[in-house]
Amino acid sequence: MNNFLDNEDRWGDFFGRVVSRAKRARFDYPSHLDSSDTDLLGVWGDPQSAVRSVFEKNRGFLVQAEGVVFAYNEAGALFVNGDKFEVDTVDDARRICDNRCITGEGGGGGGKFKVRQIQ
pTM over 0.85: no
How confident is the model at residue 119, as a pLDDT? 45
Angle at 33 (CA atoms; ends 40, 42), nearest 5 degrees = 30
Residue 86 · residue 77 · CB < 8 Å: yes
CATH of domain 2-118: 3.40.366.30
Distance CA 5, CA 35 (A): 45
How confident is the model at residue 112, as a pLDDT? 54
If phi > 0 it is left, if psi is from -120 to 50 it is alpha, else beta; for residue 37 that is: alpha
Element (DSSP H or E) covering residue 72: strand 70-72
Angle at 17 (CA atoms; ends 90, 83), nearest 5 degrees = 80
Instruction: Give the pLDDT of the chain (119 residues) as one tens digit per residue.
Output: 787 778 778 888 888 888 888 777 666 666 666 666 666 677 777 777 887 788 778 888 888 877 788 899 888 889 988 899 888 888 888 888 888 787 776 544 444 555 544 44
How confident is the model at residue 109, as a pLDDT? 42
How confident is the model at residue 108, as a pLDDT? 41
